Amino acid sequence: MKITRRNFIAAVVGGVAGIQATPLPWKFTDDVAIWTQNWPWVPVPATGEFTDVSSVCNLCPGGCGIAVRKVDERAIKIEGRTDYPVNPGGICPVGMGGLQLLYDESLRFTGPMKRVGLRGAGQFKEISWGEAFDIVAGRISNLRKKGTPEAIAAVDGNPEGTTVSVLIKRLMRAMGSPNYVRPPSINDTYRMGNLLMQGTLAPMAYDLENSDYVLSFGAGLLEGWGAPGRVMNAWGMWHDGNPAKRKTRIVQVESRASNTASKADMWVAPRPGTDGALALGIAHVIIKSGQYDSRFIADHSFGFEDWRSLEGVNHTGFKTLVLEKYSPEQVAEITGVNPKTIVSLAKGFVSAKTPVAVYGKGKDNLNGSLYEFMAVQNLNALKGSINRSGGVLLPDPIPLSDLPLLEVDAIASKGLKTPRLDQAGTMRYPFTDSLINNFTDAINRDSKSPVDTLLVFSANPFFTLPDGGGFKKALEKIPFIVSFSPYRDETANMADLILPDSTYLEKVDDIVWPTGLQYPLYGLSKPVVEPLYNTKNSGDTVIELSRAIDDSVGSGFPWENFEEVLQTRAKGLFDAGGGLVSYDPDAPAWQRQTAGNGPKPEYESFDEMWEGIQSEGMWYRPVSSPRSWKGLFNTPSGKFEFSSKLIAQAIENYSNKISKKAALKNMGLAATEDEVCMAHYEAPKAGADLSAYPLKMLPYEMINLASGWIPSPPFLYKTIFENQLLKDKSFAAINPKTAAKYHLEEGELVAVKSPAGEVQVRVNLSEGAMPGIVYLPLGFGHTAYDEFLKGKGVNPNNIVQAGQDPISGYPVWWNTPVKLIKV
């Protein structure tokens, strides 16, 4: 177009008029004004009266003491308590960021809700509590009327033994369903191992603080194992003062240079899943050199030497097995650890005064392997570190009272007779309480789900289970899902009905014996703030639900509220005597008191004790003198069993039903005869063509990222390094040598493919990674929650191909074959 005077004027006038019509100049002017002034939307936090409320953190089974700083009714900061026995002052980053889990509204359910959108879309409509109870109770009583109460199932992520989990179990029984399952944790492995080797029922009690040589097989001491506040405090103590005069040495056995491995005095890196073999190699050196505690072995153990049964059959003992099969050279072959290192580990272990061998797998969120645990526990036995200060203590179970016996009606007793979907406790898995992976398979196997109504408590199995996405498929098939989660997690988003729990800062709840602690502790959290929203303590919800179902179920729950149940159980603590309800930091609970010299309880009646527990949040019994050996081991032999008679019995029972060969095969055993009763190494089955999947994927945990059912407070993402998460991509730690084979460079996109699935990540070249292994961080890859957590990275659980651990049946999540494909 030619520029004429006319055109020119038209353009200018048009332009000026046009600018008036667009919002841009106004937006810019506005912005300039805003940027150069004080802007009104910077919040001015209201001030008021400052107070501190003492409570207990319930975000993990660690149960650290917390002091919450408040301004009037607002909680503004969480700090560690110095007057709490578990954690003298420190807490972990997740607990430190806990207020975001309370106040970030988009993470939470603000009241009972009904699903309105598609499953997984997270669209819900608020309803009343009455309506919510009607829906779920109606459904359950229908199933009961139809005579199929076993079609109700519950997934309960509350730690074993907590009062709310006892109530949920009770509700399941009262309704008549055997299908109560739990996500696996390391405590399950401990429980089973202790039962088989020691016949003890109390949780694992490692006396770390008094130990002078901590040989940790895979326990992520600095990754959040046990009560993080306790373990990290011990770490600080171990490193106090002049290093030359340091008392405690720490050795970490792990394939990756984790924080624990890096910070330990020595790091030994066996191939993943071969920790047990390494422990047996160490046992070999100890036995061969004769440096074991012969008194413990002679007086308090069974199955060390070869033995002859009453029927006159000769049996192989642990000594023969280990000397034959686990020489340092043989073990080096399996583990990849230098034989010299194995010898020096054995030397270090036996020459220490009070060494302890600790077993674990990262945090305590996931299970371990039974035989690995047994192999590690054998080291404690060889050194006589069992029932000795600085070793493994054998306390009694916490003396909480049992609830009154539950009488079930005819419908329930019929339902309870139906077999469990997960086959736990059957001849095939004789010592296992619950096998959620089998439960998932049972649902996915048939076209119609055997579960009609699923109740999910304090768990997010969709996200946390190492099952290659199996539970997600199961959820899609289950007709009706009820979630009791306070958070909008992945599993809750699949639910049809939400009966939201209050968060840990809004309710009273108990913590029963933090993982790994060497003395019994009962913690009680209290509402730090009034519930912000229309939520209800799940303990109360269960009681109310039982009454809404029918009178027969409701009659098993005669309590007014959850607190009354807590009190009922706590009676046993009073009856047992000797427990303290306050803590003096100058007398740490782990310091052994001479008999009768320790602090005395300061209460005289149950009411006084309960008042103390409520205000201080604790009941505990400090470590006392070693226990009398008499009746300590409740195994068939009455001794510590290197060779478990219970396992032998279980295999025999099963063999009587089907052939022995089939029995061993079903139980996942490659070994035969006496070996199966003892710790031994079996290479896990590959489950895939290893030429197509030449590498292994190992999920790893970090202390600064929640990988359990609790969401990570958004603050935690500040602590994540840019080579762990960048924008929406998480990183795989790969050894440069392995990466070079695939021509991968730092930051490059790569697909990690297993038979179960595929995820895309970036490459982080890390010398801390074992060649041949792809390490993926756990805790990323949420598809639920809000913009702080959603769509960041990938969840390695989605590609885990888990086999079953022999005998226990727990998932072997550390053995996924993968291949790398450059994107």
483 to 512, contacts with other proteins by CB under 8 A? none
SS3 label, residue 69: strand
Side-chain-facing half-sphere of 360: CA atoms under 13 Å: 30
Residue 126 as a binder of other proteins (CB under 8 A): the answer is no
Contact of 639 with 300, CB cutoff 8 Å:
yes
Considering only 39-47, 139-147, 425-433, 807-815, which stretch makes contact with other proteins by CB under 8 A? 39-47
Helices (H), 36-87: none
The answer to whether 668 touches 360, Cβ cutoff 8 Å, is no
Min dist. Cβ of residue 213 to other proteins (A): 13
Pairing of strands 521-525, 509-512: antiparallel
338 binds other proteins (CB under 8 A): yes
DSSP-assigned letter for residue 224: T
Q: Which of 624, 623, 603 lies closest to 614 in space, CA to CA?
A: 603
Question: Which residue type does 20 have?
Answer: Q
Exposed/middle/buried for 694, CB within 10 Å: 0-12, 13-18, 19+?
middle
The amino acid that residue 599 corresponds to is: P
For other proteins, the binding residue among 235, 359, 633, 813 (CB under 8 A) is 235
Which of 598, 590, 507, 610 lies closest to 87, judged by CA? 590
CB of 328 or CB of 598, closer to other proteins = 328
Q: Which is nearer to other proteins, 229 or 539 (CB)?
A: 229
- Judged by beta carbon, residue 93 or residue 161, the one nearer other proteins is 93
Applying CB under 8 A, among 12, 76, 298, 823 the residue interacting with other proteins is 76
Please tell me whether residue 268 binds other proteins under the rule CB under 8 A: yes
Residues between 727 and 746 that touch other proteins (CB under 8 A): 727, 735
Least distance to other proteins, CB of residue 269, Å:
4
Residue 652 lies near other proteins (rule: CB under 8 A): no
Binding of other proteins at residue 265 (CB under 8 A)? Answer: yes
100 makes contact with other proteins (CB under 8 A): yes
User: Whole-number minimum distance, CB 759 to other proteins, in Å?
Assistant: 18
Considering only residues 212 through 231, tell me which ones interact with other proteins, judged by CB under 8 A. Answer: 222, 228-229
Out of 143, 257, 286, 412, the only residue in the binding site for other proteins (CB under 8 A) is 257
Structure-token pair, residue 504? 């840990």
CB of 240 to other proteins, least distance (A): 8
Q: Nearest distance from residue 364's CB to other proteins, in Å?
A: 16
Q: What's the one-letter identity of residue 675?
A: E
The minimum distance between CB 446 and other proteins, in angstroms, equals 42
Q: Does 530 bind other proteins (CB under 8 A)?
A: no
Whose CA is closest to 764, among 720, 798, 803, 806? Answer: 720
Q: Closest approach of Cβ 261 to other proteins, in Å?
A: 7
Is residue 49 at the binding interface for other proteins, with CB under 8 A as the rule?
no
Q: Does 722 bind other proteins (CB under 8 A)?
A: yes
Q: Residue 584: what residue type?
A: D
Dihedral over Cα of 554, 556, 560, 563: its sign: negative
Closest to other proteins by CB, 77 vs 661, is: 77
* By the rule CB under 8 A, 211 interacts with other proteins: no
Positive or negative, the Cα torsion across 256, 261, 263, 266? negative
Query: Which parts of 748-777 interact with other proteins (CB under 8 A)?
Result: 766-771
Dihedral angle of Cα 59, 61, 66, 69, to the nearest 10 degrees: 10
628 alpha-carbon distance from chain centroid: 32
Map residues 279-318 to x or -, x wherever contact with other proteins holds by CB under 8 A.
----------------------------------------
Query: In the bound complex, what is the minimum distance in angstroms from residue 454's beta carbon to other proteins?
Result: 30
* Closer residue to other proteins, CB minimum distance, 588 or 771: 771
Nearer to other proteins, 191 or 792 (CB): 792
Report the amino acid identity of residue 8. Answer: F
Interface residue with other proteins among 56, 59, 86, 102 (CB under 8 A) is 102
Shortest separation between residue 355's beta carbon and other proteins, angstroms: 16
**Exactly one of 704, 707, 801, 804 binds other proteins (CB under 8 A); which one?**
704
Instruction: Decide whether 145 or 737 has the Cβ nearer to other proteins.
Output: 737
* Helical axes 328-335 vs 275-289, angle rounded to 10°: 170
Q: How far is CA 630 from CA 50, 299, 394, in A?
A: 54, 11, 12
Q: How far apart are CA 294 and CA 287, in angstroms?
A: 10
Residue 726 binds other proteins, judged by CB under 8 A: yes
The single residue listed with the structure tokens 């000397």 is 323
> In whole angstroms, how close is the CB of 722 to other proteins at the nearest point?
5
Beta strands in 363-446 (DSSP E): none
Cα separation values, 300 from 190, 285, 383, 386, 641, Å: 20, 21, 12, 10, 9
**Count of chain residues binding other proteins (CB under 8 A):** 88
Among 308, 630, 718, 743, binds other proteins (CB under 8 A): 718
